[in-house]
Structure 1
Amino acid sequence: MSERLSHASDERRDGLQESESSATDDGPLSAEVYLLTTAGVAAIAGFLYGYDTGIISGALLQITADFGLDHRTQELVTSAILVGAVIGALGCGKLSGLIGRRYTIMVVAAIFALGVICSGLAPSAFWLGASRLLLGCAVGGASQIVPVYIAELAPAEKRGRLVTFFNISIGVGILTAGVVGAFLQAYWSWRVMFAVAAIPALILLLGMIKLPESPRWLVGQRRVREAREALGMVRETDREVRRELRSIEKTSKRTAKERQLGWRELRKPWLRPALIAGLGVAAFTQLSGIEMMIYYTPTFLTDAGFSHQGALYSALGVAGIYLVMTILGKLVVDHLGRRRLCLLMMPGAVLSLLVLGAVFQFGADGPQTSWLIVASLFAFMVFNAGGIQVIGWLIGSEVYPLSIREKATSLHAAMLWGSNLLLTGTALTMVNLLGIGGAMWFYAGLNVLGFLFIFFLVPETKGKSLEEIENELKEGTFLPMR
């Protein structure tokens, strides 16, 4: 009886709020524009991620000259940001559960600003590494919280396109870093290259002030009225708001006790397929070699005999391809599907690395084959950036149920950055041991493993709401389509 009375009360409240919202509704376009604006502002964190990780590619040549770094110290300075990213990724999930997604993004923006200013003022390689460690906390935190924030606001049919705003912003940041590295070397010192990123960090901090909180987090905090208002800002009709809010409330009530179990909840068998799929994709997003190429392309190419300027221009081309392919991936991911997109693109990445490795391994690198080196490098970027990079953060924002979302997305980001750290921190050492050709073949093998992993263990999530994905996990039907 109490449940029926509660339900009737909910219906009356829905009807009342529907009439209220109808009186103030600005039309369906306003909700869509507001949603796009929210995703766009939050995705500025992706720009900072891309710029702050990518700028080391052009700045490292100046830093090496200023501080007299050997190849091992170069690796340490470069990878310090990745150590910080692991720390930030693990800590940000807990923070977002306590203070909310929106305020967490604001904290991350403040750390971004502090980190880049400290990097620009660093008096030695040690302090530069320490500053980049702090900056990495913001990078890792952004990569954990922003995709979750956008996914929890987006409707199921638009979620892929909206979450990949984050990926596109990463691409814009990497391209901007490439432009700065290629064309402003004579005008900007590496200190200015770092410190200028404080401007977009402050824009992000101020821009988040007026944006809505995640309705799913609000429901979890029993702030249902605020959740209804937040959903009303980004949904076109009151009917959508009511239906989605009921679904969120139902899932939140069912998982309230599970959330109290803490990290022990991750050990439950029904969650295992989501953790395997999500964490595996996170690992192979980096083990496929994308960040290593972005960081070290100028270093690899100058070692292969390219001029300093030619190497920087090639790095700029790498960044441009990353951005273009990320945009194309955004356009097709909700139509083609996450799993299918990866399976179509990864074989091309493998072939590109095999060719690139062969050129170096058999001593064919020289002026006559420089075009083949650049073509193979660019082809790898096309297939990698347009495939697994599109879904790396997207899958992490989709597959983890509400009861473990903060913890699991923290693990997801930590896995991604830990894999990045492993690869980036050993790249130059591996090249010294195996040669550039042998290293490229090794990375080709990792791409083959990534293809097999996705084929056998990663289900499709296209067009499914977050609650539908959770129900599939509960029912044991979250399986790859063969």
Structure 2
Amino acid sequence: MSTTSLDSAPAQRLKPDAYMTLIAAVAAIAGGLYGYDTGIISGALPLIAREFSLDYRAQELVAAIILLGAVIGSLACTRLSASQGRRRAIMMISALYSVGVLAAACSPNVTCLALSRFVIGLAVGGSTQVVPTYIAELAEPDKRGRLVTYFNCAIGVGILLAAIVGVAGEHVFTWRWMIGVALVPSLLLLAGMSRLPRSPRWLVEHDRVRDARIELAKVRHTREQVREEIADMMEIAQQHHDEGGAHGWRALAQPWVRPALIAGLGVAAFTQLTGIEMMIYYTPTFLRDAGFGDSASLWAALGVALTYLTMTLLGKFSIDHLGRRALSLATLPFAAASLFVLGAVLHFHLAGHVQQWWVVACLIVFMVFNSGGIQVIGWLTGAEIYPLPIRDKAAGAHSAMLWGSNLILTGTALSMTRLLGVGGAMWIYGSLNVLAWIFIFFVMPETRGRSLEDIERALRDGSFTPRASA
């Protein structure tokens, strides 16, 4: 590998910390698109169903097909990210967003709308595979959590904006405008990414050490930091090269990476199986079934979205202090309890004439503890625990697992509530929160404050366990 001395990086108008924050914020626009494009269907679906005369199964298809696209996009973008680099891949994804949004807004029938939302799903899945990895590969270890979770916060902003538009939708917007407005941030993402640095770890992996030094110098304070981090990256990359390890998807089967895959894919699955996205998509529907009017249901959905954003912001500022594992273990029991109570209130009609207030309170409590806990670590885990030789493929599998779980849950939510009632469905989701706590307690190590290279060394020497990290 080349060991060319550090060239002076182009002068930055911002200090390294501020520039890194800007990088995370611009890249995280993709998260805002994800939150908006998936959340807007909550308010737009009743209008779409009215225009196209859709039954509940057709409504499930329109809502869930974006998730099928996200699964495929997650896997397809692994090659794109590996060959073109993280930054260029994000730019290509933002262009795809724009195409999908325009097509959806102009759809003449439900078939075209479903296909357009599938294209949007491809972009959503691709962004969730690439963006957290891009931010993590540029961030300093002790700030990685709060920087990667800009992506989560942007998701919350997107969901909140979707809820606001949904509340105003029937009186101000048509559903076409509700969907089409997402074109603006997708173009901003495309323009913004064109001016951001490339991933130094991707450059080192492709034997472009000189370029990696220049890019890393833009977000570090001293030459010594750059030298040490580049040396660390080169050591890990050289070790993989010397070992002549497996490549492609076969590399995921190597025994030493298995603990990371089990932990990462498990967290990815439970991030969705605990019910957060299902709540966002179908809160108005559930509330109407519980006796709320259409307007009250949409306002309650707005409250849920605001809670999601607030707790994601709190999680962002605490994740590097409390730790990923500790935060999830502390919050999941309360999320589970709120769903068990909600199920009992709905199934046994326990609250009488104040039942609607109990329903809203339980939903808000669930959002507080689920979005402020396991949701904060879902994308972060996939960006930091997978070693460099398999990072592209593993991050794609992580994203696909997350979206696949979301697809299963969202695609069956209305059918499950018709079979078990809304109360019975809440008990199922509450049980999944309990299973998530058990899984994290026994499988997920703490990664707070550790560099990506240190995490890889722990995998190689067999110390990637909850006990060892404690």
Q: TM-score range by the shorter chain?
A: over 0.9
Q: Deviation of residue 364 (structure 1)?
A: 3.7
Three-state SS of the structure 2 residue aligned to 1:441 is: helix
| Structure 2 match to 1:113 | 98
Deviations 1:154-189, CA, capped at 9 Å, x for gaps: 010000000000000000000000000012431110
1:465 aligned to 2:446? no
Task: Please say if residues 258 and 265 of structure 1, whose CA atoms lie closer than 8 Å, have aligned partners that are also in contact.
Answer: no
Three-state SS of the structure 2 residue aligned to 1:234 is: coil
Q: 1:128 to 1:366 in 2, by over 3 A?
A: farther
| Structure 2 match to 1:132 | 117
Task: Please say if residues 321 and 378 of structure 1, whose CA atoms lie closer than 8 Å, have aligned partners that are also in contact.
Answer: yes
1:87-236 equivalence runs, <5 A: 87-236=72-221
Give the residue type in structure 2 aligned to 1:474: R
1:258-277 equivalence runs, <5 A: 258=244, 261-277=247-263
Q: Deviation of residue 68 (structure 1)?
A: 1.0
| Structure 1 match to 2:320 | 334
CA distance in 2 between partners of 1:327 and 1:367 (Å): 35
Deviations 1:14-49, CA, capped at 9 Å, x for gaps: 4xx47x56xx7669x611111111111000000000
Give the residue type in structure 2 aligned to 1:83: L
Give the residue type in structure 1 aligned to 2:89: T
Structure 2 residue corresponding to 1:47, chosen from 32, 42, 62:
32
Q: Specify the structure having the higher radius of gyration (Cα).
A: 1
> Structure 1 length normalisation: TM-score?
0.95
Structure 2 residue corresponding to 1:410, chosen from 396, 403, 427:
396
Give the residue type in structure 1 aligned to 2:22: T
Task: Please say if residues 365 and 373 of structure 1, whose CA atoms lie closer than 8 Å, have aligned partners that are also in contact.
Answer: no
Q: 1:319 to 1:391 in 2, by over 3 A?
A: same
| Structure 2 match to 1:296 | 282
1:475 aligned to 2:461? yes
1:277-292 equivalence runs, <5 A: 277-292=263-278
1:248 aligned to 2:221? no
Structure 2 residue corresponding to 1:30, chosen from 12, 15, 26:
15
Give the residue type in structure 1 aligned to 2:329: L
Q: 1:366 to 1:94 in 2, by over 3 A?
A: farther
Q: Deviation of residue 258 (structure 1)?
A: 4.9
Q: 1:115 to 1:259 in 2, by over 3 A?
A: farther
Q: Which moved more, 1:321-330 or 1:119-128?
A: 119-128
Aligned CA-pair RMSD = 1.5
CA distance in 2 between partners of 1:64 and 1:416 (Å): 27
| Structure 1 match to 2:63 | 78
| Structure 2 match to 1:3 | none
| Structure 1 match to 2:413 | 427
Give the residue type in structure 2 aligned to 1:443: Y
Deviations 1:279-324, CA, capped at 9 Å, x for gaps: 0000000000000000000001111110111000000011000000
CA distance in 2 between partners of 1:376 and 1:292 (Å): 15
1:348 aligned to 2:334? yes
Identity over the aligned pairs, expressed in percent? 56
CA distance in 1 between partners of 2:352 and 2:193 (Å): 50
CA distance in 2 between partners of 1:33 and 1:45 (Å): 20
CA distance in 1 between partners of 2:357 and 2:62 (Å): 31
Q: 1:26 to 1:93 in 2, by over 3 A?
A: closer
| Structure 2 match to 1:63 | 48
CA distance in 2 between partners of 1:302 and 1:137 (Å): 31
Q: Deviation of residue 80 (structure 1)?
A: 0.4
Task: Please say if residues 39 and 158 of structure 2, whose CA atoms lie closer than 8 Å, have aligned partners that are also in contact.
Answer: yes
Three-state SS of the structure 1 residue aligned to 2:466 is: coil
Give the residue type in structure 1 aligned to 2:179: F
Q: Deviation of residue 96 (structure 1)?
A: 0.4
Task: Please say if residues 259 and 404 of structure 1, whose CA atoms lie closer than 8 Å, have aligned partners that are also in contact.
Answer: no
1:386 aligned to 2:372? yes
> Structure 2 length normalisation: TM-score?
0.97
Task: Please say if residues 291 and 420 of structure 1, whose CA atoms lie closer than 8 Å, have aligned partners that are also in contact.
Answer: yes
Give the residue type in structure 2 aligned to 1:147: P
| Structure 1 match to 2:296 | 310
Q: Deviation of residue 369 (structure 1)?
A: 1.6
Q: 1:258 to 1:117 in 2, by over 3 A?
A: farther
Give the residue type in structure 2 aligned to 1:202: L
Q: 1:63 to 1:213 in 2, by over 3 A?
A: same
Task: Please say if residues 349 and 379 of structure 1, whose CA atoms lie closer than 8 Å, have aligned partners that are also in contact.
Answer: yes
Task: Please say if residues 44 and 169 of structure 2, whose CA atoms lie closer than 8 Å, have aligned partners that are also in contact.
Answer: no
1:398 aligned to 2:380? no
Deviations 1:367-417, CA, capped at 9 Å, x for gaps: 422111100000000000000000000000011000000000000000000
Three-state SS of the structure 2 residue aligned to 1:185 is: helix
CA distance in 2 between partners of 1:372 and 1:284 (Å): 26
CA distance in 2 between partners of 1:86 and 1:263 (Å): 16
Task: Please say if residues 258 and 403 of structure 1, whose CA atoms lie closer than 8 Å, have aligned partners that are also in contact.
Answer: no
Give the residue type in structure 1 aligned to 2:143: K
Task: Please say if residues 349 and 355 of structure 2, whose CA atoms lie closer than 8 Å, have aligned partners that are also in contact.
Answer: no
**Aligned pair count?**
467
- List alignment gaps of at least 5 residues for structure 2: none
